[in-house]
A and B are shown apart, each in its own frame.
Chain A
């Protein structure tokens, strides 16, 4: 190991994460290089000092305050699990899905409209060829009647999604999940 490699290792990983082999090679180099020796020693010293430094003093009444609140909740007649159900706050979980549905609906509607503007009757012919069983119905509708229907449907999906974002929040718990920290 050389000076550059030791610096890179010090930057890359905390000393406690080093493998025994990495530590041996670093110490071997540090014995030959005074600068790196000081650097490695200080890093270890800082780690040990920081680990050994006393924690800030805890407020004297913390346990009592917590337990008073816990007792009050317990006296209200609920065990932890039951309490959680009543402590649930409505959140907008599921809102993302509704928003995406709304956006996709609008995109389909607008896309169909723009497609029709650019291709005219061609759009209708493409749909007819993709769904030959609807050929008769599509022919009787005509392009100018079909496209507004698609646009209106898209707008309706968008509006429903938008309204549901605010009116029908899915009640999910705000309880802690270690795998989903905000």
Chain B
């Protein structure tokens, strides 16, 4: 975890940010190294294109450096950085019109996930993990982002809401829809109905 109990960025990040603001650009490398994995995963889940994700992640770090003086060091650093990346990801999608390809597809329909399968196949070796990522990457964008932020990136509901620019109620709804689809995806992998579907049928 890079977040202190009071919600601020950890001391290491704060020190690096302060040093960067004083002109020590090398200190910023520590910030990039610390968050590159999370931010790249976020960019990848946003744009679903490897080269695009690289561009978005890179630009997000550079923008964060440019506007570092605006970062409130009493608050966690990652949600602030993620906000930039989400915004850039949206711009990238608007520019390329790539969002339509997989949006809203059911999970998992392998034939519709060809591009995603290839994309994650290169980046994740473990088969089981790849299937989990594939299940999530096929969700609509809002649900995908909410699941990623909440379950993977250890952000609280309120932080997810801030980054996505929605209410916490909306985040709960997004997570609810996502979980429902993901349960079905897991059941499809195992075979048969999910227990909750069976229960729902009985009720």
Residues of A that sit less than 8 Å from B by CB: 3-4, 7, 10-14, 17, 35-36, 38-39, 42-43, 46-47, 49-51, 53-59, 62-63, 65-67, 69-71, 73-74, 79-81, 83-84, 87, 173, 175-182
**B32 CB, min distance to chain A CBs, angstroms:** 5
**With the chains together, A128 CA to B76 CA distance in Å?**
61
Contacts of A47 in B (CB 8 A): 151
**B133 CB, min distance to chain A CBs, angstroms:** 7
Question: Top 7 nearest A-B pairs by Cβ distance?
Answer: A181-B165, A81-B69, A56-B123, A53-B129, A175-B67, A39-B195, A80-B68
Contacts of B41 in A (CB 8 A): 55-56
Give the residues from 69 to 102 in chain B that come closer than 8 angstroms, CB to CB, to chain A. Answer: 69-70, 75, 79-80, 83-84, 86-87, 90
**With the chains together, A182 CA to B186 CA distance in Å?**
33
Contact with A along B39-60 (1 / 0, CB 8 A): 0110010000000001001100
Q: Which residue of B86, B151, B183 contacts A42 across the interface (Cβ within 8 Å)?
A: B183
**With the chains together, A176 CA to B195 CA distance in Å?**
44
Q: Is the CB of A14 within 8 A of B23?
A: no
B141 interface residue per 8 A CB criterion: no
**B191 CB, min distance to chain A CBs, angstroms:** 13
Contacts of A176 in B (CB 8 A): 63-64, 67, 70, 80, 83-84, 87
Q: Is the CB of B70 within 8 A of A39?
A: no
Contacts of B40 in A (CB 8 A): 55-56, 58-59, 62
How many B residues, CB 8 Å from partner?
70
Residues of B that sit less than 8 Å from A by CB: 20-21, 23, 25-26, 28-29, 32-33, 36-38, 40-41, 44, 54, 57-58, 61-70, 75, 79-80, 83-84, 86-87, 90, 120, 122-124, 126, 128-129, 132-133, 136, 147, 150-152, 157, 162-165, 172, 175-176, 179-180, 182-183, 186, 194-196, 198-200, 203
